[in-house]
Amino acid sequence: MSNLKPTLLTPEGLERLTEELENLTTVRREEVAARLASALADGKDDDFVENADLEAARNEHSYLELRISEIEDILRGYELIEDAPKGSRKVIIGSYVTVVEDGFDEKERYHLVGPAEANPAEGRISYE
List per-residue pLDDT tens for the chain, 128 residues long: 455 788 999 999 999 999 999 999 999 999 999 999 888 887 665 555 567 888 889 999 999 999 999 999 999 999 998 877 777 788 888 888 888 888 888 888 999 999 989 999 999 999 88
Per the rule left: phi > 0, alpha: psi between -120 and 50, beta: everything else, 4 is beta
For residue 79, which of 28, 30, 29, 10 has the smallest C-alpha distance? 10
> What's the pLDDT at 63?
97
User: Amino acid identity, residue 19?
Assistant: E
What does pTM read for this prediction? 0.78
- Whole-angstrom distance, CA of residue 43 vs CA of residue 64: 22
Using CA of residue 58, residue 60, residue 63, residue 66, what is the dihedral sign?
A: negative
DSSP 44-103: TTS-GGG-HHHHHHHHHHHHHHHHHHHHHHHHHSEEE-PPPPTT--S--TT-EEEEE-TT
> What's the pLDDT at 31?
95
- Whole-angstrom distance, CA of residue 20 vs CA of residue 31: 15
